[in-house]
Amino acid sequence: MNAEEMKRQAGIKALDYIEDGMRLGLGTGSTAEQFVRALGEKVAQGMKVVGVPTSERTAALARELNIPLTTLDETPELDVTIDGADEFDADLRLVKGGGGALLREKIVATASKKMVVITDESKNVETLGAFPLPIEVIPFGSRVTALAIQKVAKAHGCEGELKRREDEFGEPFLTDSENFIYDGHYGKLPDADALATALNIIPGVVDNGLFIDIASVVIVGTPEGPYLVEKS
């Protein structure tokens, strides 16, 4: 079974958490896309749901599939968010933001009663941090903000490069909220909980890709089919 098929199966498995009438958060990324496609089939068969997309990219896909969309202003309480992740650990802490949508993803997930994560086994890690930690930063004064990030990271046992993300033209990557992303190449995050809090009080930091105590289930795609890891 190839990686795409594992993602597809994880996306289909996530439909187990969806019921008629639900208000959903729709994640971003290649795995979340598989879920949105599976949901689109259910909607075509008559299922009634509304979704809040976590990115312009997901919004466009949902529109193409005729999935009714809403906003958090219209619908501030959601039942379930289904989204991917770049890493997860045994406590279901996540690193997210590889696709640059971490801010909307976190707002939507925390507006939901439940967050279900769809992944494959390559995302399961003992210690978070092998995947560079995305940090969304306001462009104004971003070099100053980056220096402050490195100080805070060092104080939390993280050493390594902090790189501003670029797009395919070598220009700064801009999020849907027109901010920069800095990726912290730290290798490991020895105290992810404290780091997540400390980063977010730096002026200029909008949010970081650590999702702590937000996910309650991870569906892990494998060649033998998906399995579940649930919050104990």
Catalytic positions are 105
Can residue 183 be called a binding residue for ligand 5RP (CB under 6 A)?
no
Stretch near ligand 5RP under the rule CB under 6 A, chosen from 13-21, 66-74, 77-85, 222-230? 77-85
Q: Strand (E) positions, the chain?
A: 23-26, 50-53, 78-83, 87-88, 94-95, 112-120, 133-137, 161-164, 180-185, 205-208, 210-211, 217-221, 227-230
Q: Binders of ligand 5RP: how many residues, by CB under 6 A?
A: 18
Task: Give the shortest CB-192-to-ligand 5RP separation in angstroms.
Answer: 16
**Shortest distance, position 104 Cβ to ligand 5RP, whole Å:** 9
- CB of residue 100 vs ligand 5RP: minimum separation in angstroms? 6
Question: Least distance to ligand 5RP from the beta carbon of 172, Å?
Answer: 17
DSSP, residue by residue, 15-57: GGG--TT-EEEE--SHHHHHHHHHHHHHHHTT---EEEESSHH
Q: What tokens appear for 147 in the block?
A: 């220096």
Residue selected from 23, 83, 156, 208 as contacting ligand 5RP according to rule CB under 6 A: 83
Of 26 and 32, nearer to ligand 5RP (C-beta) is 32
Site for ligand 5RP in 85-114 (CB under 6 A): 85-86, 96-102, 105
Q: What is the C-alpha radius of gyration for the chain, rounded to an integer number of angstroms? A: 17
- Site residues for ligand 5RP, 57-76, by CB under 6 A, read none
Does 226 engage in binding with ligand 5RP (CB under 6 A)?
no
Return d(Cα 127, Cα 189) in angstroms, integer. 7
| Backbone CA torsion sign across 22, 3, 54, 71 | negative
Which residue ranges make up the site for ligand 5RP (CB under 6 A)? 27-32, 83-86, 96-102, 105
